[in-house]
Structure 1
Amino acid sequence: MTIKRNVVVVAPVAGVLLGLLDFVWIKYVPWPFGALGNSMAVWATAAFLLTFGSRWSLRAGVTGAVVCLVLAVPSYYLAATVIQDDDLANLYNRNAILWMALGVVAGAVFGAAGVLARTPGRLATVASAMPGAVLFAEAVIQARRIGDPSYDTPGQLAFVAVLVALGVTATLSVARNRVTALLVALPLTAVGYALLSVTGFR
């Protein structure tokens, strides 16, 4: 019962803070670090860390991660309305609904991974490789933009370096078998790249 109450309180609070702080981060932190606020991989990693750091069951972890990411979307747009007078309709327009739908998927996958990564067993190493893999996958997407005249090449190179460094750091921080987890992250990166591409994030 305590764990269930914990999820009910922690997940919504985490979601509101994620959306609010994400917008503030984007608005005030300079490139390339500021670009992390627009990163799907960073939000997925946040869902992973939420459940990895909590003593929740698999079901509670998935539910909590989904609630966190879904609530983060309107919180983000509400912050934009308050801080820079954006249209309040952004909270529930088509884009917001799409991001919330993606939040359900990412929350389910990475929320489960966060629980499994701290649970002894064969899946722990694979699960602990997932934050790094999704960050590496986004790095690949950004790297493919290098040379495109629509993007600033030095800026893209810097952002790729930040994503890779963050992916390595995340993996080393959560994995018990660090080297193995980094190796497992490589094939998972290909899967993550394919999935991110399907969403149109490329």
Structure 2
Amino acid sequence: MRSDHRTLALTVVVGGFLLGFVDFVWIKSVPYPFAELGNSTATWAVAAFAFGYWVRSGRVRPALGAAVLLVVAVPSYYLAATLVQGDDLSVVWAPTSLVWMVFGVLAGVVFGTGGTWAREKGWRQVVGIALPAAVFFEEAARFARRANDPNYPSGSGWNVAIDVALGVLVVVLIGRTSRQRALALAVALPLAMTIFIGFAVAGGY
């Protein structure tokens, strides 16, 4: 059991560091529109989901571990920005970073738990499978809203298509039957709307 705890802790710390660091490098090195997958709240939420799915069961470990993973990823992201493009390291403890860490705790608990639910049965399994699709669909809705905004790069339609495709793909891969997949996609839509409203209330972070 002690070895399992050590493996879990190591996975959380290393995984969080890699998520933040690789995320920034991805944004800098991959061309648009795929670069937006690095600058994506959905990508981080799905990383927390994947962690919970890997843990498989339990309540505390997947939720706490996924939360820590996302919190570690935030300073790692800004450390990469310092090393790659010379940003000021003080941004690591700036108020914006702390806000993202708080969001990381919330997203980690929700999506880490969702990852374990996807392995259960009944309504929890459906909701668990729906969660990663919902966060991709919500992000697609935000890209669609920006389509005519001159402050954002043109070609947002590609981002909408990529996010919708990834949302459907993750349901196809995780769902075990056609019925599960259909139910999960149906549940993902109201969940996406809930997340969309949450972002609007939070001021668009």
- For the criterion TM > 0.5, the same-fold answer is yes
One-letter identity of the residue aligned with 2:131 = M
Does structure 2 retain, via aligned residues, the 8 Å contact 1:129–1:175? no
Pair 1:3-2:16 in alignment: no
C-alpha contact (below 8 Å) 1:66/1:103 kept by paired residues: yes
Question: Aligned with 1:144: secondary structure?
Answer: helix
2:200 maps to 197
CA contact (8 A) 1:4 1:60 kept: no
Residues 144, 156 of structure 2: 8 Å contact kept? yes
SS in 2 for 1:77: helix
Q: Report the CA distance between 1:121 and its aligned residue.
A: 3.4
Contact 1:118/1:124 (8 A) holds in 2: yes
- Residue 89 of structure 1 corresponds to 90
Q: CA deviation at 1:113?
A: 0.5
TM-score of the aligned structures, taking structure 2 as reference length: 0.93
Deviation at 1:86, TM superposition (A): 0.7
One-letter amino acid matched to 1:13: V
User: Paired residue for 1:161?
Assistant: 161
Aligned twin of 1:67: 68
Q: CA RMSD in A?
A: 1.4
**Structure 1 residues 88-127: aligned runs within 5 Å:** 88-127=89-128
- 1:141 CA drift (Å): 1.1
* Structure 2 counterpart of 1:180: 183
- Cα distance in 1, alignment partners of residues 86 and 148 from structure 2: 35
Q: CA shift at 1:197, angstroms?
A: 1.6
Say which SS state the counterpart of residue 55 (structure 2) adopts: coil
The Cα shift of 1:56 comes to 4.5
**Segments of 4+ moved more than 3 angstroms:** none
TM-score, normalised to structure 1, is 0.94
In structure 2, how many angstroms separate the alpha carbons of the residues matched to 1:44 and 1:167? 12
Q: Quote the offset at 1:119 in angstroms.
A: 2.0
- Structure 1: gaps of 5 or more residues: none
Structure 1 residue 82 displacement after superposition: 0.9
